[in-house]
Amino acid sequence: MSLDQFPLIHRGKVRDLYAVGEDRLLMVASDRLSAFDVVMAEPIPDKGRVLTAMTAFWLEQVADVVPNAVISMDPAVIDAELGVTLPTETHGRTTLARRAEMVPLECIVRGYLAGQAFSEYEQHGTVHHMAVPTGLRLADPLPAPMFTPSTKEEAGHDINLSIDEATERLGAVLVEELSAVSLAVYQRAADRAALAGFILADTKFEFGVVNGELVLCDEVCTPDSSRLWPKAEVVSGETPPAYDKQPFRDWLEVLGWDKQPPPPTVPADVVAATAARYRAAYELVTGRSLSDWYGHGS
């Protein structure tokens, strides 16, 4: 069967969400690749499986820190729960989850200076409009991991917020809880990544509320939502090699593309290199083989 019997309620840049009754969702991670808020025409093989498998790994690692919305990622369990047989091409990339009331905030934690945060720091000496010490360089660690939220815009780019600005929108109690939980999950993940020789430079979380309880939703510490650097190769002041989609963004920057649709054609060698980097990120960080995850060979 296809997924058509379930109402499609949202098609994101990477994920498709289907309603399963009133209280559950099917989340299918595609092989689509987005950069600068534009989806490329060429899929990246196995990308959806990597995002799903890596999320499963990290949910195991932080299960005692915060509950999550996942019911199962096992195709057999999902089929039994729904009384259907999902297409084999969805295996390993599909999550059955409880439907949550999503918190309208991107919960970003930054442990190192990179990306937008570094650009802002260069111009203003701040990160998300918040003061940080002077004299830092690209790829330097921040004095302590920072909770640096942003808005979740339906169209266009998200807007970076300070803690005070987030508090004005959502209230002090919720923002304090989001900050504490985000920092705790980041620290657990960063410590675990370090054991594998990686720096989790920054990452983005999304939270929702189920039955009055704050739960972790969506992807967790994946190459799409995080910066992952091999620790031994990070040099202060230089752009680190990365096991995330930053190298793909860098390739686009060299092209001189205006970051507006339509996207440029992605050559086969760039597709292959990007796919290899996603697979390597999963296998090196988790110590597991992607061939052991659901959907191998389908």
pLDDT tens-digit map of 145-166: 999 999 988 766 789 999 999 9
116 and 62 in one domain?
A: no
What pLDDT sits at residue 155? 66
What pTM did the predictor assign? 0.95
Where in the chain does DSSP place strands (E)? Answer: 8-11, 15-20, 24-29, 34-35, 38-39, 70-72, 94-98, 101-102, 107-112, 126-127, 130-131, 141-147, 198-210, 213-217, 226-230
Establish if 291 belongs to a structural domain: no
What pLDDT sits at residue 1? 63
What pLDDT sits at residue 215? 98
CATH of the domain at 236: 3.30.470.20
Q: How many domains does the chain have?
A: 2
Q: Which residues of the chain have pLDDT under 70?
A: 1, 155-156
Establish if 253 belongs to a structural domain: no
The amino acid occupying position 110 is R
What pLDDT sits at residue 34? 93
225 and 107 in one domain?
A: yes
Establish if 229 belongs to a structural domain: yes
163 and 38 in one domain?
A: no
Owning domain of residue 62 = 1-99
What pLDDT sits at residue 153? 80
